[in-house]
Every structure is written in structure tokens, then in C-alpha cells.
Structure 1
Amino acid sequence: MSAADNFVMELQHPADVDVDCAAGRSERAKWLLNSPDPPPPLQELFTSIKDTVLPPPKSKKVLRPHNRCFFFLQGLFPILKWGRNYKATKFKNDFIAGLTLASLCIPQSIGYANLAKLDPQYGLYTSVVPPLIYALMGSSREIAIGPVAVISLLLSAMISKVIDPSIDPVNYTRFVFTVTFFTGTFQALFGFFRLGFLVDFLSHAAIVGFIGGAAIVIGLQQLKGLFGISHFTTKTDLVSVIGAVVKALHHHQWSPLNFVIGCSFLIFILITRFIGRRNKKLFWLPAIAPLTSVILSTTIVYLAKADKHGVKIVKHFKGGLNPISIHQLNFGSPYVGEAAKIGLICALIALTEAIAVGRSLASLKGYHLDGNKEMVAMGFMNVIGSFTSCYTATGSFSRSAVNFSAGCETVVSNIVMAITVLICLLLFTKLLYYTPLAILASIILSALPGLIDLNEAYNIWKVDKLDFIICIAAFFGVLFGSVEIGLLLAVFISFAKIILNSIKPSTEVLGRLPGTDIFCNMVQYPMASKISGILVVHINSGLLCFANANFIRERILNLVVDENGIEGGGLRVLVLDMTNVMNIDTSGIHAVEELQKKLISQGVELAVANPNWQVINKMKASKFIEKIGSGWIFQSVADAVNASVCLKMNVLNSC
């Protein structure tokens, strides 16, 4: 069969069309070439900020000035929108959920403040102001705001290297407030400028490994309180902590009574949790178990005078309203750079934890959670929190799950919780004088198993081995190094993965599925067939830039050489499918120009199919369209192939 016969058979394909269809292709190409310019970066930035604080109205009617103001306030404070339809039946559920939350939050907050190496009242302060601010600005109905274990560990581990809390507790506390201010500022900026993608630099695998390693480190840190050890290491790695425990036990620098009290109530809390999981109606039992443990253990220590027999207690506990701490923020310190760095890390970790739990619970309730609005809300609550003696707060996994199980309807449950904690601060802090530190340690230890997700680590292993390496690196980095080393390892490997995929993206040869105009990867779909004299290449990269342009150009030229070797120099058209290419820089355009010159020298025409808005705009600005000719730009691969087939027929007819 001759080549002309092959072309005639190709033209009999349903996708091959007559002159009218060729005119249609030309018209579609004009739509592409004459598309308006994309908005400039400053306009995109302004629109992004506007959409964050002032969402577009559902109706297209022009709003009056006072309506615009109210609409703006609704965007910034969602409570103004849903609060108008709030009913007493919802408050009943929120009230019960709030009280349940408070019973869990009070002992946990005291324990987490101890973990952050702060006085106990700061944990309770952090459970008052941030939840109230979030209730005004947040959009999640189920998330419970307050101090959490991972952030408390981050603060103590990183700030202790700058200021030792045992030597200078006053400046340490001031530094914590300054870090909290920076954390809130970064979070608010991420939300305003829609920079939520920065949170994604900490991949899911990295977070699983980091939180798992941090949970073990937190657990090891609690051995100090559980054993009643007076002198303990300030380091967080596994070797140092185990060494400090062994040394204390060997020299009898521990109290057996602390261990007995702590283990007894730890077993009690774990038993109530087991019962709560077996019987969902008893969800409240594990929620009130920590507060019950605090009350019982404090009573026992007070009646038995156990503090005189080696049991370590909280002692003085300052109560009252949150004192103003704005004057304690220290921006003139030589360590302000360190405060900003720690604030940035805490902002990313806190947002990742909060948005993850918020979105998972929102999906169960069937509504969407706007990540950028959540960032703004959490940023403001931490900035205001730093002015009112609070340290970094975020959404808690364990307390949010309790809030959800308790049947909360709205964030009013956070308001109820905050008011309950405030009442505790005003009236009951003196009663906590005899609370044993071993109980706080047992409460924190009881919350840690939920942070170690072995099933998810196994799923990561099954799905992506490189992701599993990231997970393991974060886990062992935290466990045997420090929280910073664990994070750096995870981020470094994640970036290496991104760079590797960006520098060496794949290119696919496409073929047409029988009886259709669909072109797809011939390796994945062996039934797809090539069209004689035409090579369709798909670029599998979202960005054609300086990092990968030369690599992609060489890959395509190698495919052309291979194709000409198979067809004996019969290749006439290369169709470059740019569907996936979202943007291109000057290096990318230069590489495409060089590719076109090489192809022309070999007698092959270059056709560009489906370039993105940004791509076609930059091709026009660089005069590349003039060089290649507007007749070689197509809206789809099918248009490009059909036009190329017609070109081949014209060449054959002229011969």
C-alpha cells in the first residue's frame, strides 16, 4: 500500500473533516490567539485579599455603602451571618459540648503549659482569649481551640536554646509571647495573601512522621513528672532523655509515690477511654476522666499531706483575668530574628494541624472550610493572644474529636468552654495548689497514642515509597535529633522530591484511540495508534522553566530522531501538547524557539496545541507566535493533527 493510500485511509476517520471544519479550526485558533491579557500580578494580589475579607455577593445587585460595610464585616466575622439564625435548641447542644470540652481542656491546658515550661496559669489563659476570638472569626463549627502538645513541645525545645527558663523565667515568658505574636502575624499574612500553599510544603507524610516522633518525645519528657525527678535534661532527643531517667533511677533521685499516683490515674483514664470507644453513648466518660483525676488526686494529696513525703505538686497557681502582656513583647531584643524564625515554624505546624482536623470534621458535616479564612482567624487570635498573656493556640485533634462527639452545633461550644475556664481561673485556682505533677504527666501521656498513626504510616508505605522515606526521616530526626532537625529533614527531602520531578519531567508520545478524537499515552493505552508522519508529544510538567527547559527540549529531539529512524525520515509535523504547562519563563520560550529551529532544519514543522492563558500571552510578548506562524497554534491536539493530515495531503497532491 502506497503512502497516498495511507493518507486516504486516515482521512476516512470520523475526526477528519472538510473545508468547513478547517475554517472552524482556524476560527478556534483565533479565539486562542486573540484572548485578552491575564490580569497583572498586583491586580491578582488585590483580588485575592478582597476575596478573603470580602467574598463576592451571591446576587449581582449593586450594594449600598452601609450594606457593603455590613457585608465586609460578615466576611471578617462569620458569626454575624449564622448568628442571626441561631436557635435555643442549638445552644443546648453547644452548652453540653462546651462543658464537656472544658472538663478535658482544664487539666490538659495546665499540663501543656508545664510542657512548654511556663507557669500553669498560662495554659488556662490560652484557653480563654483565643477560643473567644476564633468564635467571632472562624468558620469551622467543630474545631476546639487551645494549647496543644506539639506546639508546646516546639516552643520549649526551640526557645530553651535561646533563653534557659530555669535561669531567666521572666525573659523566657516574654520571648514566648513575642514568638506567639510572630506566629499570629505570619498566619494572618498567609490568609490575606492566599499563601496557604506554604502549609503544603510540610507534606502529609512529613506531618505523620513529625507528629509521631514528637508524641514519643513528649511522652519521654513526661517521665520527669511521672517519676518525680528533680534534675532532668533540657534536651529532647531519645538518648538524652533515657540517659537522664536511668541516671535518676540509679541514684534514687525519684519518688515512688509520684510513680504510683501517676500510673494509677493513667490506667483509670485509659480504661475510661476504652469504655467510651466501645459505647459511643458514653463519650463523656473519657472526656471528664482527666478532670476527675485532677480532683481526686488533689484531694488525696491534700488529705494525706503527700507533698511532705516526696510528691511534687503544682504549688502557687496565679488566677484571675488574663493580664495584659503587650508591654512584654520585646522587638528590640538581639534574639528578635530567632523569635521570627520560631514563629514561622510554629505558624506552619499550627495551621497544618488545625486545617487538617477542621477539614476532616467539616467533610463529615457536609460543608466546605475556607483555609484562607481559617488562617486569618487563627492569625488574629494568636496576635491578640500575645497581648493577653497567651501562648500559641491552634485546633486540637483530641478536643475537636470530643467536641464533635458531644454534638456541638456551632463555635458557641468554644465560647462556653472559654467562659468555664475563666470561671475556674477566677474561683478555683487556689484549690489546684496540691495538684500532683504526676497527674499532669499522666493526662498528657494518655493523649499521646492518638498522635501516633501506624496505620497511616503503613498506607504511605504502600502508596509511595519516597513519601515513606520523608515520613521516617521526620520521625527519626525528631526522635534522635531535635524537632528542628526532624522538620528540616522532612522539608529537605520533600523539596528534593519536588525539584527532581520538576527538573526531569516525563514526556509522553500520544496516539489516537480508535474511533475517537481522544489522544492519550500510548504506553498506558496500547490500542492507541500513531498517525503516519505526525508525532504528538505531551509535556508532563506544570512549568516550563530554566530548571527543565533544556532537558525537555533534548528529550523531544531524541523522540524526533527515534521517530525519523523508524519512519525513514518521514516525519513531517511535531505536535507539542502543552495542556499541562501552566506557565513558562524566558528560558522555556528560548528552548521552544531552539526546538523549532532544529525541527525546521530537519524538514519538520512544529505545531503547538492548547497553550495555557499565561503561556500564549508570553509567547505573543516574545514574538514567538510571529516566528512559528499563527497557523501552527491550535486549541486542541485533534485540531493540530487534523490540520497536519490536510497539510500532508496537500504536499502529496503537489508531488
Structure 2
Amino acid sequence: MIKRFVPAVDWLSNYKRGDLSGDFQAGLIVAIMLIPQGMAYAMLAGLPPVVGLYASTIPLILYALLGTSRQLSVGPVAMVSLLVLTGVSTVADPGTEEYVSLVILLMLMVGIIQLVMGLFKLGFIVNFISHAVISGFTSAAAIIIGVSQLGHLFGFDFTKGNNAILRIIEAIQRTGDIHPASFLIGTVSILVLLLIKKLSAKIPAPLIVVFFMIAIVKVFGLNEDGVNIVGNVPDGLPLFSIPNISLDLILTLVPIAVTISLIGFMESIAMAKMIASKEKYKIIPNKELIALGTANIGGSFFSAYPVTGGFSRSAVNYQSGANTPLASIISAGIVLISLLFFTDLFYFLPNPVLAAIILVAVYSLIDFKELKHLYKVSRIDGWVWLTTFTGTLILGIEEGILIGIVFSLLILIIKSAFPYITELGFSEISKEYEDIRVRTEAKVSSGSVIVRIDSSLYFANAPYLDEKLNKMKGNLNGVKRIILDFRGVNYIDATAIHSLEDIIEEYHSDQISVVFTNIKDAVQDKFKKAGWEKKWGQPYQYTSIEHALTSIEEKKQRKV
């Protein structure tokens, strides 16, 4: 029973000694990667760097105990960090005590939302956010994240607000204000990170760059020449504290909390499923929600900020040999040791280096190739991507993803309200009844019109069906029967049945019979309940188009 709710009981009780070396190696490498990343992402979120380290401890342990992924690396990520900054900076100034307090409350809210979703099995909700929306949003957000770091890279503060486009324009206008040492440190860091990343993902490039640049700044005293540094990083373990809970603040933070809950879960589950498919085990989405929710709730009591599963760290964790969630517990343990004994080492860490780490991390998230692919496969999906991307870039994070979701759902509603209805003809090539718009060689049957409906029928699209079939009735010269192919109709409601009855009666008044083929059992049951047997003598009895045509001809011959 306990195993059902706490997966760790299973993998701990069956732990193999041979897995330890891989778990330890992966845990160490991820921790070395996580320490500078955590500090950088905390800075991106408008928080003191040490908060990023706090977020890399307790949440990792809690997820390792409850999650169903063996290799997912949970912790601070760029996307969630940007969402935190976007949502909370409208209420308080980044870096202030009030701001930190609000972020901790936000983490608690995110955790509760995810936990409730998991307990009530609401993981399916994220299915309503299409891939095109997520890809467009991610690409735009990555650009916004990158632009937000230009100030640290160039060594000056922006004056024209947080809009990415305005900041790019300002950066171009102020090239003369670039601080040479800051720009050089940031640029070299980016180049080294990219070079090491190209050589091997297992090499802890961020840590190498961090300590190299710390040494450069300290030896040459560059902090006295205008290079901004992290400064004092508090040592010691994160202390237990209860978040400051206020109803007014909760109501203010609800929109961003819901956004982070959904986006964070989608990012996490996508990576977890990808690794699980390679390792041949299953991810249980609702249990993942419970694990992430618990990790965020637990972290909120230890001064952390919202976490989720990260793409790059999870990939490194997997590639480095992680076999079980013990690797994440080891990573958390190493971060805790660093908090106890090694925080002084980060005093001279230059902000341009943290900016470089963020820029390199988010660069791979910008995916214009996906736009090209989507537009090639489906122009509608391409427009959804472009709409989400443009909305996010121009209007902002929350507005952009909302526009994308609304736009994609609107398209879904339109598609549902206007189902594909087409006439069929017999193709000598395929020996099947095909869409005459696609198979131009297909021949229509003499005296009959065969119509295929490729959608379930209900109140929203019943008027369209009525309109299409009535319009068709006006163009039927010499046609005595309509055969409706229902192979694509999996569901029908009372409104659609009523519309069909009206259509049948109107056709009958013009001496044209209406019959049905390929009807699913569930739809046929609805027709029976509507009393169609008494009204029309089972006009839905034909099992195939050929059956309908043959039976009609036989009846015709019997009459003769």
C-alpha cells in the first residue's frame, strides 16, 4: 500500500549495489552543474543567488521519494524563473524582502495547485495546451530571458521598461555605454561554455567558467573597476519558516501560480517521458503532479522558489549514468554541503558569468525550425505557433500564452463546428470509395450520392450539417437516394438526431430516400432510442456502402 503512494519504498528496497557508482557519478556531475545554474536562475527570478541553492536541496529530495521518473532532475529552471519575475515584480520590487516573501508564498501556491491536480487526476488538463502553443511560447520566452540578461552582460541598467523589443532597441542605441570588462567576461564565458558543451555534455562547463572568472576578478580587482559581483552569499542550511499567507496576496498571485503549475508540469513531464521511453518504464502523470506539488510545498517552508524538472540537467543526469532517484538525493546532499562550507568561494563571482550561463542554457529553446516544420505539415498549427510567439514577445509572458491557448482552442471549436463533409466515388485504383476532391478519378454512383461525415455530431455542428445537406439537395438531378457514410461518427447527441430527422423528412418530400452505412454501435443505440425503426424502418441497417448500393438495386429489381 505504501509503495503505491511512495515509489521510493520500491526502488530503495530493491536497490542494486551495482547502480551506486552510476548514481554517485551522475549526482556529483549534476550538483556541480546545479550550483552555478541555481544561482544564475535565482538572479533571473529577481532573487538573491543563495535562494537558487535553497531550491536545489529539499525539493530534490522530496521529488526523488515521490516521483515516478528515475532520471528527472528537479530544481530551478530558466522558464519558471522568468515566470516568477514576471508575476511577482508587478507586486513588489525584485530583491526586496517583500519580493522574496511573495515568491515563497507563490511556491506554496504552485505546490498546492499541482498536488490538488494530481490527487483529483487532473493531469489531462495540460492536453488542452497544444504543442504549437508550447513551442511558440518557449521560443519567445527564451528570447525574453536572453534579452533580460543583456544588462548584466553589457554592464548597464536598462531604462525603458521590461519589454524585450524596447530593450533590444535600447541596447543598440547604448553601445557606447557598454562596460568593456563586463562585456569581455560575459563574452568569453559564453564562448567557453559553448566550446566545452560541444566537446562533452558531461564536463561541468558552468563550474569551470565560474571558478576561472572568480579567480580573474579577484586577482585583477575587476569588481573595483565596475564589474558587478554576487558578493556575500549566506552560509548555512535553509531554515524552516512558514510562508506569509494573506488572502489578498493569494488572489493577486493566482494567475501566475496557475501558469507556473501548468508550464512547469508540461516541461517536466515531457522530459520524464522522453527518458522513460528510452529506458522502457512508465511515467504516471498524476503521480508526477503529486511529486512536483509536494516538492514545491516542502521547498516553500525552506526559503526556496518554484522548481520543476529541467531539460538540460535531466539529460546530463541520464547521460552521466543515473539509474535511480538516489542520484538526485546525492546532488541535493552536495549542494547542502556547499551551503555549509563553500559559500565564501562565490563572493567574487561576476554577474556577467551568471548571465552567460543563462544565455547558453536558453539558446537551445529558440526553435524557428519547429515553425517551419509546423507550417509545412499544417498551416493552422504554424499560425498558432506564430501567434503565441508574437503575443508573448510583444505583450508579455502571461498574455502571450493566454493568447496562444485561446487561439488554439478557438481553432478547435471552429473545426468541430464545421466538420469535413465530402462526396465519395469509387476508385478503380484503390478499389475503395474515396473522396472525389482527392481522388479525381473516382466515379460517382448512378442515381445515388454517397456522403461521408468525418466528425461526431452534436449541437454545435448540427446546423452546419443541416446547411450542407440542404444545399446539396438543390443540386441533385435524377438522384433518388442519399447514402450517408457514418464511419467517422463516433458520437451523436439529441440535437443532431433531431436535425437528421428534419433532413430525412425534407428529402423524402422530394422523393429522395436517405440511408446510412458504417454506423457505430453507440450511434445505432441512439437511433433506436429515438424510435427510428418505427419512423423509417431502420434506414441505418447497412453495414457498408456496397451493401447499401446492392440492397437498393435488389429492391429496385423486385419492384420491376
Q: Could you tell me which of 544, 549, 553 is aligned with 2:462?
A: 549
Aligned counterparts of 1:620 and 1:323: Cα–Cα separation in 2: 68
Q: Which residue of 1 aligns with 2:184?
A: 260
Task: Tell me the secondary structure at the aligned position of residue 422 of structure 2.
Answer: strand
Counterpart of 2:168 in structure 1 is 242
* 1:407-418 correspondence to structure 2 within 5 Å: 407-418=321-332
Equivalent position amino acid for 1:218 in 2: I
Letter in 1 for 2:158: F
Offset of residue 343 of structure 1? 1.2
Q: What amino acid is aligned across from residue 299 of structure 2 in structure 1?
A: G
* In structure 1, C-alpha distance between the alignment counterparts of 2:430 and 2:346, rounded to whole Å: 76
Q: SS state of the match for residue 243, structure 2?
A: helix
Pair 1:347–1:580, CA change in 2 (3 A):
farther
**In the superposition, relative to structure 1, how do residues 178 and 619 fare at CA in structure 2: closer, same or farther (>3 Å)?**
farther
- Cα distance, 1:213 vs structure 2: 1.6
Letter in 2 for 1:132: I
The 1:181–1:235 alpha-carbon spacing in structure 2 relative to 1, beyond 3 Å, is farther
Distance 2:272 2:110 in 1: 19
Q: Which residue of 2 aligns with 1:332?
A: 247
Q: Which residue of 1 aligns with 2:558?
A: 653
Equivalent in the alignment of 2:374: 460
* Aligned position for 1:218: 145
Deviates more, 1:97-106 or 1:496-505: 496-505
Native 8 Å contact 2:23 2:324 kept in 1? yes
For residues 468-500 of structure 1, what are the alpha-carbon distances to aligned partners after superposition, in whole Å with 9 as ceiling and x for unaligned? 222222223233331123223322331232122
Instruction: Tell me the distance in 1 between the aligned counterparts of 2:336 and 2:517.
Output: 64
Give how far 1:519 is off.
4.7
CA distance in 2, matches of 1:501, 1:323: 53
Partner of 1:385: 299
Q: 2: distance between equivalents of 1:588 and 1:274? A: 59
Q: 1:164 to 1:620 in 2, by over 3 A?
A: farther
* Number of matched pairs: 560
Q: What amino acid is aligned across from residue 501 of structure 1 in structure 2?
A: K
Which among 316, 321, 345 is matched to residue 237 of structure 2?
321
Q: Offset of 1:615 from its aligned partner?
A: 4.2
C-alpha distance in structure 2 between counterparts of 1:137 and 1:614, whole Å: 40
For the residue of structure 1 that corresponds to 2:484, the secondary structure is strand
Deviations 1:564-585 (A, max 9, x none): 31xx1422xx443333333333
Query: Residue 570 of structure 1 aligns with which residue?
Result: 480
Contact 2:424–2:433 (CA<8 Å) still a contact in 1?
A: yes
1:527 deviates by 6.4
Amino acid at match of 2:150: L
Percent of residue pairs bearing the same amino acid type: 34
Counterpart of 2:55?
126
Q: Note the 1:337-352 alignment, pairs <5 A.
A: 337-352=251-266
1:284 aligned partner: 202
How far residue 522 of structure 1 moved from its aligned partner, in angstroms, is 4.2
Secondary structure of 2:196's match? helix
In structure 1, the partner of 2:406 is 492
Deviation at 1:211, TM superposition (A): 1.5
Residue 575 of structure 1 contacts residue 637 of structure 1 at CA under 8 Å; is this kept in 2? no
8 Å CA contact 2:101, 2:243 repeated in 1: no
Q: Secondary structure, in 3 states, of the residue corresponding to 2:324?
A: coil
- Does the 8 Å contact 1:577/1:637 carry over to 2? no
**Correspondences of 1:380-459 after superposition (within 5 Å):** 380-459=294-373
Residue identity matched to 2:247:
G
1:610-640 CA-partner distances (Å, limit 9, x unpaired) = 555654555555x354554573344x742x7
Q: Alpha carbon RMSD of aligned pairs, Å?
A: 2.9
1:362 corresponds to: 276
Q: 3-state SS of the aligned residue for 2:139?
A: helix
Structure 1 residue 118, shift from structure 2 partner: 1.1
Unpaired runs of at least 5, structure 1: 1-69, 277-282
Please tell me whether the aligned partners of residues 222 and 445 of structure 1 are also in contact (alpha carbons under 8 angstroms): yes
State whether structure 2 residue 505 is matched by structure 1 residue 597: yes
Residue number in structure 2 paired with 1:476: 390
CA shift digits 1:15-37 (9 cap, x unpaired): xxxxxxxxxxxxxxxxxxxxxxx
Per mean C-alpha deviation after superposition, the further-off stretch among 434-443 and 189-198 is 189-198
The amino acid of 1:570's aligned partner reads K
CA distance in 2 between counterparts of 1:515 and 1:256 reads 71
Check the 8 A contact 2:217/2:348 in 1, yes or no: yes
- Following superposition, the deviation at residue 514 of structure 1 comes to 6.5
Q: TM-score scaled to structure 2, two decimals?
A: 0.90
- CA–CA distance in structure 1, aligned partners of residues 357 and 33 of structure 2: 9
Q: Letter of the aligned partner of 1:224 in structure 2?
A: G
Q: Deviations over 1:166-195 (max 9, x none)?
A: 5xx223223222332332333334444444
Kept in 2, the 8 Å contact 1:146–1:395? The answer is yes
Change (3 A) 1:189 1:223: same
The CA distance in 2 between the partners of 1:239 and 1:456, in whole Å, is 22
CA contact (8 A) 1:183 1:392 kept: yes
Distance 1:604 1:376 in 2: 59
Give unmatched runs, 5+ long, in structure 2: none
| Displacement after TM superposition at 1:561 (Å) | 4.3
- 1-side partners of 2:302 and 2:457: how far apart? 49
Q: Partner amino acid for 2:418?
A: K
Relative to structure 1, the CA distance from residue 631 to residue 448 in structure 2 (aligned partners, 3 Å threshold; closer, same or farther) is: same
SS of 1:544's equivalent in the other structure is coil
| Conserved? CA contact 1:149–1:218, under 8 Å | yes
Q: 1:137 to 1:576 in 2, by over 3 A?
A: farther
